[in-house]
Amino acid sequence: MDAAPAADFFPDSPLVAEVLASPNHGERQFDVTSGVAAPDMLLLHYTGMESTAEAVEWLRSPERGVSAHYVVFEDGRIAQLVPEARRAWHAGASHWAGATDINSLSIGIEIANPGHDHGYPPFPAIQVEAVTALCKDILSRHRIAPDRVLAHSDVAPLRKADPGEKFPWEVLHRAGVGHLVEEVPPSDGRYFMRGEHGQPIEALQAMLALYGYGVPVNGTYCETTEAVVRAFQRHFRRSRIDGVADVSTLATLYNLCAARTA
């Protein structure tokens, strides 16, 4: 990975209040056979540290080797750390729709929030408003499909839970950002969980894989399948996060896939 020296640059978005340049970035790598030659994914994270200042320092530290393109602070201020043309190091080991170099394909936004390990407070309305505005601005400059606006947990379900179930995806969706359907409320009924086997589980895995999740299609409700179901719930069926494929989860997933192809 090649890292350019930390230097100021002109921000890509007029919404940026300051540039806090990070040295942690490199050249984007694209598969020429795919026809993709520019970022076509927007990935949302939370910072996941008790102190936002510490998180920003972490994203700018050459020793840490991580970064993101943007940070949105609790008060709605936006800082840019890496130019959009460069490959920031925010996704880590990840997978979506057959792709594994998510850093090359994506623009990463870190949302200041201490996360699940540190109390996980709600996202302030002013911060959500700023995230929404930034996403809209990025989408105005890049050809990113609604179903390619994703959570870190979507592309790395075994490792990550951010930005988590408290992030109000519906606010972004009402503003024209991302892909969402109304949740089918949880109810009693048949469900599938870890350790089970069979054709219905294979059908569930196939539907998750069709949407983009990195899940084996083998008919076994394994650790990875459970993690992927939980990631799906964090983004699309947030009323209960348990990794169990109940009727609500299955129906919401079906509606989501159907809405994408409609």
CA angle in degrees (0–180, nearest 5) for 80-85-90? 60
Q: How far apart are CA 30 and CA 26, in angstroms?
A: 13
For residue 163, whether the previous peptide bond is cis, meaning omega lies within 30 degrees of 0, is yes
Q: How far apart are CA 113 and CA 71, in angstroms?
A: 11
* Closest to 41 in 3D by CA, of 93, 96, 2: 96
Q: How far apart are CA 232 and CA 216, in angstroms?
A: 15
Q: How far apart are CA 237 and CA 245, in angstroms?
A: 11
- Give me the helices (H) in 25-80, please: 52-59
Active site residue 110: yes
**Beta-carbon contacts of residue 238 (< 8 Å; ≥ 6 apart):** 165, 166, 169, 183
Q: How far apart are CA 147 and CA 181, in angstroms?
A: 11
Q: Which of 84, 110, 165, 226 does the annotation list as catalytic? A: 110
**Roughly how many angstroms between the first and final C-alpha of the chain, as a whole number?**
41
| 29 DSSP assignment | -
In this structure, are residues 137 and 83 in contact, taking their beta carbons and an 8 Å threshold? no
Q: How far apart are CA 234 and CA 31, in angstroms?
A: 30
Residue given tokens 């008919």 in the structure block: 219
Give the catalytic positions in this structure: 110
